[in-house]
Amino acid sequence: MFIRGFFRLLYYLFLAYLMYSLYRWITGASRRASRSGRTEPRLSGRMVKDESCQTYLPKEQALREMIDGREYFFCSKECRTRFLEERKKTA
């Protein structure tokens, strides 16, 4: 009687372990899928030059400014402001 109860306990523990493993596999798959869903745009690999500090950065991450029909790119607001101030001085 004791041995039968022991094997029944082992059987239920094994089933519980299988259910737990299945749960972890399903939730792990959903976590991996949600991590791969990108919120940021994929970078094209095209680099542009900041007109103020001469730094290269990805085009998608650059600040853009259209001046006289030409598009200028900047790495930060400070660089854009500095460029516009220098342009006003020379104009």
Domain ranges of the chain: 1-37, 47-90
The model's pTM is 0.52
Least confident of 9-13, 39-43, 87-91: 39-43
- 47-90: CATH topology is Ribosomal Protein L24e; Chain: T; (2.30.170)
Q: Which residues of 4-43 are buried (b: 16+ CB within 10 A; e: fewer)?
A: eeeeeeeeeeeeeeeeeeeeeeeeeeeeeeeeeeeeeeee
Confidence of residue 51 (pLDDT cuts 50, 70, 90): confident
